[in-house]
Amino acid sequence: MAQVTDAGFGVMLPSFDPFRTGRLPLVEGAVLAEELGFDSGWVGDHLSFHPPVLDAICALAAAAPATRRLVLGTAVLLLPMRNPVWTAKQLATVSVLSSDRLIVGVGVGGENPAEYEAAGVPVAERGRRLDESIEIVGRLLRGEAVDHPGPLLPTRSPALEPAPAIVPPMVVGGRSDAALRRAARGGQGWLGVWISPRRVAEVRVRLDELAREYGRPPCRLLLMVFVHVCEPGGHETALEEAARFVRGQYGLPFDQLRKWVLVGTEQEVAHGLAELRDAGAESFVLTAAAADQLEQYRRFAGVRALLDRG
């Protein structure tokens, strides 16, 4: 039964194809992640983005019956673009298929306005839509009927069955203070990306302040980290491949994200993650900034062993 503390040491599953290989080994990756002992496997969510991408909830529905222990998560579901009732139905289905191994990560997105236009949703409304959707989806996942007045998402729905036996925990992504407030107010965790150890420590303090303000337990701090583990002496090739990943995944030059990508040997990457952990990161979701994601999983396992030892 998934709790946000079960996220542990996780990986992003291969649901994006930034190198345009035509191969998305989503199920194979989930099975391997479980075999290697990772705690969680996550998928991102876009309707349309720079690389080809699988639908997040469909991807988890495929991974669920292929695994037995791996916690499955969305990192993050762009809930403002989705119908909240259908989304709750789909999430409940994944939770049932996985025997309640689901963590629901949500966020606003917005870096690709074209997908919001395609979904018929104004980008400027995404924050307010997310707030309303969190309430609607949360109640439906708890097995409750909903009569939500809006203003943006007036919704009336009967209780949906089957409801998850255990309500999936929710984590909120985003780097703004609004995202931190959203997490502290209604989530069990906050999922960050592209931040330094110093910023991790600042966020930890802020989340604790907000928890006291809302009278809730502090959020768990999860961190997505882009990683390429290379052999000794392989740094130049690894950097070139990481740069190709960034261009393919985000359409950005590597220098804009270089400082957020850990490239190095198992020992060097473990050292970088240890700095983030010491600053307050409690769970990791590693994204393989490499063409062969599954080989990176094997190397990530070595990184984890080094972290666990010290």
The one-letter amino acid code at 132 reads E
Host domain of residue 77: 4-227
Residue 89 located in a structural domain: yes
Measured CA to CA, the distance from residue 296 to residue 178 in angstroms comes to 34
Residue 137 located in a structural domain: yes
Residue 95 located in a structural domain: yes
For residue 29, give the DSSP letter: H
Residue 265 located in a structural domain: no
Tens digit of pLDDT per residue, the chain (310 long)? 688 988 999 999 999 999 999 999 999 999 999 999 999 999 999 999 999 999 999 999 999 999 999 999 999 999 999 999 999 999 999 999 999 999 999 999 989 999 999 999 999 999 999 999 999 999 999 999 999 999 999 999 999 999 999 999 999 999 999 999 999 999 999 999 999 999 999 999 999 999 999 999 999 999 999 999 999 999 999 999 999 999 999 999 999 999 999 999 999 999 999 999 999 999 999 999 999 999 999 999 999 999 999 7
In terms of residues, how long is the chain?
A: 310
Phi, psi of 301 (to 5 degrees): -60, -40
What is the four-CA torsion angle of 29, 32, 38, 42, rounded to 10 degrees?
A: 10
- 122 within 8 A of 134, measured Cβ to Cβ: no
Residue 279 located in a structural domain: no
Q: So what's the pLDDT on residue 1?
A: 67
Residue 282 located in a structural domain: no
In sequence order, what are the residues at sequence separation of 6 or more whose Cβ sits closer than 8 angstroms to the Cβ of residue 67?
30, 31, 34, 41, 98, 101
Q: So what's the pLDDT on residue 2?
A: 80
Would you say the C-alpha torsion 206, 209, 210, 211 has a positive or negative sign?
positive
Number of separate domains in the chain: 1
Residue 233 located in a structural domain: no
Residue 78: Cβ within 10 Å count:
25
CATH of the domain at 100: 3.20.20.30
Residue 124 located in a structural domain: yes
